Structure 1
Amino acid sequence: METSSASSEYDLKRRLVIGLCAGALLLFLLSVVYWVQQVGPRMASEQAQLARTMVELKVNYLRDDFGDESGPFVNYRLDLELKSLQGIGMLVPFCASLHDIHDRVVDDACYGDTAWSPQWVSKAVGHLVAPGTSHQIPALRYPGVRVGWIRLRPNEAAEASRLWGQLEWSLLMVLGIMLMSAGVYAVVRRALQPTQAMMTAIDQLEQGDLAARMPPSRMRELHRIGEQFNHMAARLQKTIGAQRVLADRLLKVREEERRRLARELHDELGQRLTSINAEATYAGNVSQTKLPELMPSLEAIERVSGETMASVQRILQGLRPPGLDTFGLDRCLEQLGKTWEGQRNGAQGVKVDMRVDVQAQDWNDTLTVSAYRLVQEALTNAFRHGQATHVAVDLSESDTHIRLTIVDNGQASSLPPTDSEGHGILGMRERVDALGGRFDMAVVEPHGLKVDIHLPNAVARALPNNGEDNT
């Protein structure tokens, strides 16, 4: 689930910039296609209109300005005859050539702005000129005698310059959109800067820091989200705090009840079983000579009382760790490890590496018993359920937290169910949660489990006071 959610994430700022730039490039390509498609029809329409205009204005009537008739077209200069159309040439680029009656070129001139344009634009315009774009009108001499032709054709250089100018405007528009997208990126990035602090607060809350709060934001939407989050975090902190106080009280009550039961079993039932065993032994010594027929019953009484005493000892060990109040946590944990080493896991021996580096004498009874129970439950889980042969236990303490790590080489290749009561995981989690800690479990290579428990060190000294204050 985490992988799929991470893969579906995207950066809003990057998406906005990419979207704007992609839209600008698409708009530029569409404009290029549009302007290029307009070149051919526009040239054909303009050249046709130009030919009609020249006929209507009678520009095709040539006149002799120099009075020399040594030749039919010697003094008929096209630039003089088309002088009146130079202004039109600035709006409608064209080229005109004057041909005599024998189709010989007498003069040739082009009109229109021929500013610089890339070579590829000129080539493109050359391919876009249709065969029917050129027009031919008769060159007349007063009173209407045809003396040749005037051929009109598009000024490709000027058309290329005009097309390049249109493309330049489109390119400038694209650059403007890209600059605007950069501004949008900067604005959105600045507006979303508070989200970094908000994500940090969410991560802290996920890690168990219930005091995490989101900072205020000037953006209205983010400010409302922060207020709602802080309100939710405050209620969660209050609820979990009350639950932890309740769980701590339940642990205390349970351990006190177990201690009371252990004391009563030891003082009352233990003494009575010892007395029964002693009386049965004395009666056996007396009946051995006087009433030998009672010996089987007396021996049965001694055997049952001994077995009952052993059962009571096992019950006492389950109710209260033996010697925890007298010898301390470190000695009891070392003895627990030696007890497991003295047992056999099938036909194979087991090894427990116990490392304890804490000042447990400063801890309250709930934390001391909980640490012992956590190690005891982890060892039971490793040897009985995981079929492990080696377990490493490391209990350490710092100014901020207490850490308990148990690593085994069992047969587990996957994590057991979190609610598996048979593996004791549920009880371990409940203890850790009650103490305000964090419980993590992972599979180690090539097989086995690692239990990593973090408890706040303030629990060792502050938990009793917190419990009293919240009474």
Structure 2
Amino acid sequence: MIRVALGALACAFAAAAFVITETRMDMNHGLKAKVELMAGKLSLQPVRFQTGFDHDERLPDWGFLADKLLDEGACIRFENADRQQVYASCLGVAASSAATPQWFSALYRTVFSPVRPVRRTIETHGEAIATIEVSLDPTLGEARAWTETRRIMSVTASAIALLSVIVYFAIDRALRPTLAIQAGIDRLAGGDLSYRLPQVPLIELQRIGEVINRMAARLETAMAERAELARRLAIAQEEERRHLARELHDEFGQNLAAINAIAASVGATAKIACPELMPEAVSLSQIAMNMMNELRNTLARLRPAVVDEIGLVESLKDLVVGWNGRLGATRFTFSEKGDLHELPDAVAVTIFRIAQEGVTNAARHAGARNVNVTLERLNGYPAPSAESAVQLTIEDDGKGLGPHENAGAGAGLAGIRERVAIFKGRMDLRSEASAGAKLSVIIPIALTAQEVA
């Protein structure tokens, strides 16, 4: 719109300059025609004197010239053969005609020079007897230029206003579908890949919408395939962990228990028969106990058996109690809201894994004095008609995360984000430097149960 108006103004200024130039040319041609007419009249007077038709032998017959040929703003100057001024007459410019704005007068005088006077020599029988000069008052040229410019600028201003209104409504009508396209692109950018842009009247916008819809469809298919692959990998990973934990428990656990029993038997025998072997027997028993403790920790990381045995809530309580026992400077608390019994196995294991990672990050990197873990059952998520969801919140009062860390850098946060994405949940991390951090994870229960069924 602005460009159209500027283009129209440029055309208006060009037209004004053209009109002023034409006006100056007309004024110059008028001066030349007037001089020729005056010279013709004055050339006839000596002839009339000689033939006796005119008894008044004054040259020039100034009354005729002043009355018939002198116009507003014009000056006539008559010189004899000796270049002495004989007669001169000027007719001023009326005040109404000379009313030109000061800014226009200054601009006109800067760009254009005054119209030059026109001189004409009067000859009789090939001999110059006089010279006549006609000139115009400079204010007359400015006044006429202003009159023509004002006229064309008025017409142009009206045309620009009308054109702007027409262009505005035309562009508004043509580009109105772009609002729907922009809203659709915002929805696609927000993650709603199932949305498709509507049809619009303009062919160019239709092509853009078709391309965006094709890209969204391909991206939706790719994301669905990726989510399915990630889901299968997560299920396979949990199965492999369960199998590995069972093997370690059955094989290494029994062997370590046997080693510990043998070491105790060796110690009892050595106490009676060979006291020198007592230290080695005790050392062997301690090594076996240490290995059994490490095996328990490894089994807990591979497969949280406590989740299967005592449930998610009690497992999280044990997790918080364990961290309180390891770190005396940080206080860990746990709270629950809603009915959290009979959760699907996939939900319970995923929530426990995320809690492990989140609490570990808060304990090792946040430097917090308080870490609060909250587990809540959400009914009607993501819509009132939906079944429900589980929300896990881990909040601390530590040093917070920097801009780059808050953006998702780090394997721990990336792992949490992947687990949430597998089950089409939502993760929200809010943190500011020296203001702590708050991690919130929501996993739909009904959708999760269907996905892993």
Same fold (TM over 0.5): yes
1:231-270 alignment, distance < 5 Å: 231-267=214-250, 269-270=252-253
1:167-206 alignment, distance < 5 Å: 167-206=150-189
Q: Counterpart of 1:430?
A: 418
Q: Counterpart of 1:53?
A: 37
Q: Does the 8 Å CA contact 1:43/1:133 hold for their aligned counterparts?
A: no
Amino acid at match of 1:461: A
Q: Does the 8 Å CA contact 2:196/2:213 hold for their aligned counterparts?
A: yes
Q: Counterpart of 2:371?
A: 391
CA deviations over 1:69-121 (Å, ceiling 9, x no partner):
9xx9xx99759962xx79xx7xxx7647799x99788x987899x87964448
- Pick aligned residue for 1:27 from 1, 5, 11: 11
1:414 shift after superposition: 4.6
Q: Distance in 1 between matches of 2:169 and 2:294?
A: 75
Q: Does the 8 Å CA contact 1:54/1:60 hold for their aligned counterparts?
A: no
Match status 1:461 vs 2:446: yes
CA deviations over 1:365-401 (Å, ceiling 9, x no partner):
2232122212211222233244444434444454116
Seen in structure 2, the aligned counterparts of structure 1 residues 438 and 125 have a Cα distance that, compared at 3 Å, is closer
Amino acid at match of 2:448: L
Amino acid at match of 1:365: D
1:232 shift after superposition: 1.7
Q: Counterpart of 1:415?
A: 404
Q: Distance in 1 between matches of 2:121 and 2:142?
A: 22
Seen in structure 2, the aligned counterparts of structure 1 residues 193 and 397 have a Cα distance that, compared at 3 Å, is farther
Q: Distance in 2 between matches of 1:117 and 1:250?
A: 90
- Pick aligned residue for 2:317 from 324, 329, 334: 334
Q: Distance in 2 between matches of 1:40 and 1:263?
A: 106
1:158-173 alignment, distance < 5 Å: 160-161=143-144, 163-173=146-156
Q: Counterpart of 2:329?
A: 349
Aligned length: 430
1:65-76 alignment, distance < 5 Å: none
Seen in structure 2, the aligned counterparts of structure 1 residues 205 and 328 have a Cα distance that, compared at 3 Å, is farther
Alignment partner of 1:337: what SS?
helix
1:350 shift after superposition: 1.1
Q: Does the 8 Å CA contact 1:405/1:453 hold for their aligned counterparts?
A: yes
Amino acid at match of 2:323: W
Amino acid at match of 2:311: G
Amino acid at match of 1:26: A
Q: TM (normalized to structure 2)?
A: 0.74
In structure 2, the gaps of 5 or more residues are 49-54, 123-128, 383-388
Match status 1:319 vs 2:302: yes
Q: Counterpart of 1:212?
A: 195
Amino acid at match of 1:52: E
Q: Counterpart of 1:373?
A: 353
Q: Distance in 2 between matches of 1:342 and 1:200?
A: 52
1:434 shift after superposition: 1.9
Q: TM (normalized to structure 1)?
A: 0.71
Q: Counterpart of 1:5?
A: none
Seen in structure 2, the aligned counterparts of structure 1 residues 56 and 397 have a Cα distance that, compared at 3 Å, is farther
Alignment partner of 1:270: what SS?
helix
Identity in percent: 27
Q: Distance in 2 between matches of 1:150 and 1:286?
A: 149
Q: Does the 8 Å CA contact 1:396/1:403 hold for their aligned counterparts?
A: yes
1:176 shift after superposition: 1.7
Q: Does the 8 Å CA contact 2:347/2:448 hold for their aligned counterparts?
A: no
Q: Does the 8 Å CA contact 1:60/1:150 hold for their aligned counterparts?
A: no
Amino acid at match of 1:384: R
Alignment partner of 2:201: what SS?
coil
Q: Does the 8 Å CA contact 1:343/1:350 hold for their aligned counterparts?
A: no
CA deviations over 1:208-253 (Å, ceiling 9, x no partner):
2221221111111111111121122122212211221221121122
Amino acid at match of 1:427: G
Q: Does the 8 Å CA contact 1:47/1:135 hold for their aligned counterparts?
A: no
RMSD of aligned residue pairs (Cα, Å): 4.8
Q: Does the 8 Å CA contact 1:418/1:425 hold for their aligned counterparts?
A: yes
Q: Does the 8 Å CA contact 2:77/2:134 hold for their aligned counterparts?
A: yes
Seen in structure 2, the aligned counterparts of structure 1 residues 180 and 170 have a Cα distance that, compared at 3 Å, is same
Seen in structure 2, the aligned counterparts of structure 1 residues 353 and 161 have a Cα distance that, compared at 3 Å, is farther
CA deviations over 1:108-166 (Å, ceiling 9, x no partner):
87899x8796444895699678485376899xxxxxxx9x9996645955872464234
In structure 1, the gaps of 5 or more residues are 1-16, 64-68, 139-145
Alignment partner of 1:352: what SS?
strand
Q: Does the 8 Å CA contact 2:31/2:135 hold for their aligned counterparts?
A: yes
Q: Distance in 2 between matches of 1:59 and 1:154?
A: 26
